[in-house]
Amino acid sequence: MALKQISSNKCFGGLQKVFEHDSVELNCKMKFAIFLPPKAETGKCPALYWLSGLSCTERNFITKSGYHQAPQNMASEHGLVVFAVDTSPHGYNIKEEDENWDFGTGAGFYVDASENPWKTNYRTYSYVTEELPQLINANFPVDPQRMSLSGHSMGGHEALICALKNPGKYKSVSAFAPICNPVLCPWGKKAFSGYLGTDQSKWKAYDATHLVKAYPGSQLDILIDQGKDDQFLSDGQLLPDNFIAACTEKKIPVVFRLQEGYDHSYYFIATCITDHIRHHAKYLNA
């Protein structure tokens, strides 16, 4: 599968690159960003995948999170190859695809759609968990046995469900303001009914709160940061309490930090990203 390099920039000792490729799962051209630390020049490194939220692309994280500038540039210090993934396919001219910011373009919700007209192209779950890692492992100096996930909002939802649906595949998981119980929130109901239809058993297969209740896997330590002044927390879109309760019942360790004064923005992510990189490095380099 051919890769086309879009850009390459020296950054804090490493290289920040963007690539484009033809996706089989999504049947369109997709972009992803990759940060290659100096250690990648001499051997294989662990991989940390970042999944962005509604309306975002691969660029939001690399331009707004400040993760390159974390103290001592922790991605370079710990030898982490960091990927930022686009949120959805583009350019099909499907009716309704570009009518709303929270459905269609930029809002694929990382599911494999089962309903027309979305099911042919909106297969972002398989893209993130299968196609993209295979592409990455074949073309970059990464260790396929050492992968972790982090994400924000809709991407935080995906990070959690990927880890819970694939026990042992990922070494660690973290999230900023994730959509924790989408079957019960307005965003989730809108997206799932459109992509997955009216059968709510299909919805639960992409809901972290439901998945954690049946999680059969090995130990999984979860880190979640949530801004206390997040407008979407107060609007009932995120529902972290439901997820925390399910984790507690299942005895799955989760560190949940409600951060006073912070909102849903990348300013919040930039404030706490160092802790998340440290969390992943602990497991990826164990």
CA–centroid distance for 186 within its chain: 20
Is 201 labeled as catalytic in the residue annotation?
A: no
Separation between Cα atoms, residue 260 and residue 73, nearest integer Å: 26
Which is catalytic among the residues 153, 172, 207, 276? 153
Separation between Cα atoms, residue 126 and residue 216, nearest integer Å: 21
Q: Tokens representing 92?
A: 């099909």
Is 153 labeled as catalytic in the residue annotation?
A: yes
Q: Is 46 exposed, middle or buried (0-12, 13-18, 19+ CB in 10 A)?
A: buried
User: What is the biggest distance separating any 2 CA atoms in the chain, rounded to whole angstroms?
Assistant: 51
Which is catalytic among the residues 86, 210, 230, 276? 230
Give the alpha-carbon dihedral of 280, 221, 224, 125, to 10 degrees.
80
Which is catalytic among the residues 68, 90, 264, 279? 264
Separation between Cα atoms, residue 137 and residue 152, nearest integer Å: 24
Is 76 labeled as catalytic in the residue annotation?
A: no
212 near 246, Cβ under 8 Å? yes
Cite the active site residues.
153, 230, 264
